[in-house]
Amino acid sequence: MEDGAALVLFSGGQDSTVCLAWALDRYSRVETVGFNYGQRHSAELAQRDKLRASLRELRPTWDERLGTDHMLELPELGRLSDTALTRDAEIEMTEAGLPSTFVPGRNLLFFVYAAALAYRRGMRTLVGGMCETDFSGYPDCRNDTLQTLAKAISLGTDASFIIETPLMWIDKAATWALADRLGGDRLVDLIVEESHTCYLGVRSRRHEWGYGCGHCPACDLRRKGWEIWKRETGLA
Ligand code: ZN
């Protein structure tokens, strides 16, 4: 067992990229896992390799620490989920107040798969970019949910698993600030250029804060966070 090792749930989005940098800053061995479950667009997944390669170039220690990338195929998750991510439907708010992109229990499944993989790889720390502050109504992003899950996984594997969520209590502006603190302008630029967040998979439109359609809920959050961060740092 390696104490200084962590497995990061890495989709290629802004949040998971910041989490990966956060992990590279504090663990001596960091591996990444991504999930392919038939997302309507795979723009995020396509950015993963580029982001990993660029993070290696950012700091020599990060290059040494960044290990294997794992890709797990979970097509059943896509098949079971009747959501806008997996079929051509409008992204809208459902009656339950959730975006129609919601895949019930998605993060629970991700962490259970990640834990099984981590167990085999000799790692007990899992890192994810879930956040309650920009809470979109996803109950599987709640801190209570994830810490209870960590307990269930630990009991179920008879191993002491830890789930770290460095973004849990910070908003999108603070996520940009964290990126700046971890990797300066180069990391911020990398996230703008290569990380993908847009629900619609648009990479043809470049804004100050990155690529995206500019009006879906994910683009909206990312843009607002950028604007607040710029205002707070006096750069706008
Ligand atoms: Zn968008």
How confident is residue 92, by pLDDT bands cut at 50, 70 and 90?
low
The 3-state DSSP class for residue 103 equals coil
Share of the chain above pLDDT 90, in %: 68
Decide if pLDDT at 97 tops 70: no
Ligand 1: distance of its center to the CA of 176 in Å? 18
Using alpha carbons, list the distances in angstroms from residue 44 to 1, 82, 203: 31, 20, 10
Q: CA nearest 169: which of 141, 198, 148?
A: 141
Q: Give residue 42's pLDDT.
A: 72
Residues with CB under 5 A from ligand 1 (ion): 198, 200, 212-213, 216, 219
Ligand 1: distance of its center to the CA of 26 in Å? 32
Encoded tokens for 125: 């720390």
Ligand 1: distance of its center to the CA of 28 in Å? 35
Q: Which domains does the chain have, with CATH numbers?
A: 5-193 (3.40.50.620)
Decide if pLDDT at 77 tops 70: yes
Q: Give residue 75's pLDDT.
A: 83
Ligand 1: distance of its center to the CA of 79 in Å? 23
Ligand 1: distance of its center to the CA of 211 in Å? 8
Which of 123 and 135 is assigned the larger pLDDT? 123
Using alpha carbons, list the distances in angstroms from residue 67 to 5, 20, 29, 205: 10, 12, 6, 32
Ligand 1: distance of its center to the CA of 230 in Å? 20
Ligand 1: distance of its center to the CA of 165 in Å? 24
Ligand 1: distance of its center to the CA of 226 in Å? 14
Decide if pLDDT at 101 tops 80: no
| Residue range 28-58, pLDDT digits in tens | 999 999 998 876 567 777 889 999 999 999 9
Q: CA nearest 107: which of 77, 151, 152?
A: 77
Average pLDDT over residues 104-117: 94
Share of the chain above pLDDT 70, in %: 85
Distance, in Å, from the CA atom of 115 to the CA atom of 215, rounded to the nearest integer, reads 35
